[in-house]
Copies of this chain bind each other. A is one copy, B any other.
Amino acid sequence: MDKMDSQELIKSIARESPSRIILLVIDGLGGLSAPETGKTELETAKTPNLDRLAAEGICGLSEPVSPGITPGSAPGHLALFGYDPVRYNIGRGVLEAVGVDLPVGPDDVVARGNFCTVDEAGLVTDRRAGRISNEKCAELCRLLDGQVIDGVEVIVRPVREHRFVAIFRGKGLSDRVSDSDPQQVGLSPLPVTASEPEAKKMASVANRFIAGVKAALAGHVPANMVLLRGFSRKPGFPSMNEIYKLKAAAIAGYPMYRGLARLVGMDVLETEKGVVNKIQTLTQHYNDYNFFFLHIKGTDSAGEDGDFNRKVAVIEEVNDGLPELVSLQPDVIVVAGDHSTPALLKGHSWHPVPLLVYSKWCRPDGVKEFSESACVQGGLGRIPATQIMPLAMANALKVNKFGA
């Protein structure tokens, strides 16, 4: 007998109701202690409002993937949305498009591209074309954009420096094709080949596109060629509405998170920079949705920069905005992170992430402050991040009994 996974289980018993859930994601929330004080960023920040929520709610730690695994932003967020991040994989091309806020259609095949340098023999001498400027990249993308090959439109958009995205938009395309990127210098770009018969058209279009690019870029040394990789289609994820019967909205500033939210079927609201503006956006749309994903990026950016104090400051900003969220009287507030980003490590890490669930029905524990050390003792224990959504749904009384 095949076993339902936890997402299929919650899908089979989720029910629609007007109760509201706010999922506040403080990106890279978890940290490590500064050697001088023995306190993490979250423990250093003055957070009376978060602490009050912790005291009235139930706390714990969430494991984004599994012990010892450091997640990227995509798996970290998929887990928070209740999608097993090891099972649900987003192709590299699609992720790159998502990261620059490009909508990907159901028939599109998307590749990541590099501008690169080739010598007279056609051998790659620099896979990154000397990291050309963003402006140069945008200019070259405009040059290549909009061709139609065998009925397939090719949309070319800049990402950053030498990186761009190519979207192949047309019928009958498969993403089961090989990269043209040889992954090292001294080799020719590879022909794109089909890994299944249905992919022949995609391979042929890609190769004709590359041949045309070579001609068009001939005079543009160091960016006189392109390399394509990670051909992929939009993953056929079930939407959050299908799974949880939620009307879900995302409030996020960065394209990557807006794109991820779109991939799981959320409406993505327009918003402005900063914590205050994001909370205002939520307030304005409070009556239109019953689930809000509110994304705070500054903590992760500060952690990545190794800026302990700036991470502390962003956490305090979130703390200051909290009363406005609470005053809306949502049925459930979840405060979570997609992963840890300790300033000491200047990057994402594997450490479990403080977690707080606040609702009328949460069975409060003895935790009185929102911190890594206090959450270790929390009533939620240490749970996989994929179980946060079922917990939030339960606390919003949106789940039927399982079995008779």
Q: Does A209 contact B (CB under 8 A)?
A: no
Establish whether residues A402 and B70, one from each chain, have CB atoms under 8 Å apart when the complex forms.
Answer: yes
Task: Please report the C-alpha to C-alpha distance between residue A73 and residue B363 in the assembled complex, in whole angstroms.
Answer: 21
The residue that A382 contacts in the complex, of B88, B361, B381, B394, with Cβ under 8 A, is: B381
Closest to A65 in B: B402
Closest to A73 in B: B404
Closest to A392 in B: B68
What is the copy number of this chain in the assembly? 2
Q: Which residues of chain B are near A85, meaning CB under 8 Å?
A: 402-403
Establish whether residues B404 and A66, one from each chain, have CB atoms under 8 Å apart when the complex forms.
Answer: no
Bin chain A's interface residue count: 35 or more
Q: Does A32 contact B (CB under 8 A)?
A: yes
Task: Please report the C-alpha to C-alpha distance between residue A74 and residue B9 in the assembled complex, in whole angstroms.
Answer: 16
The residue that A404 contacts in the complex, of B4, B67, B95, B347, with Cβ under 8 A, is: B95
Q: Which residues of chain B are near A10, meaning CB under 8 Å?
A: 68-69
Which residues of A approach B to under 8 Å, CB–CB? 1, 3-4, 6, 9-10, 13, 32-33, 40, 61, 65-75, 84-90, 92, 95, 344-345, 347-351, 361, 363-366, 372-373, 376-383, 387, 389-395, 399-404
Please provide the 3 A-B residue pairs with the shortest distance between their CB atoms, ordered closest to farther. Answer: A68-B390, A68-B394, A72-B403
CB<8 Å pairs between A and B, sample of 20: A9-B65, A9-B86, A10-B69, A67-B387, A67-B391, A68-B387, A68-B390, A69-B394, A70-B400, A70-B401, A71-B403, A72-B401, A72-B404, A73-B403, A85-B402, A85-B403, A90-B403, A92-B404, A347-B401, A376-B378
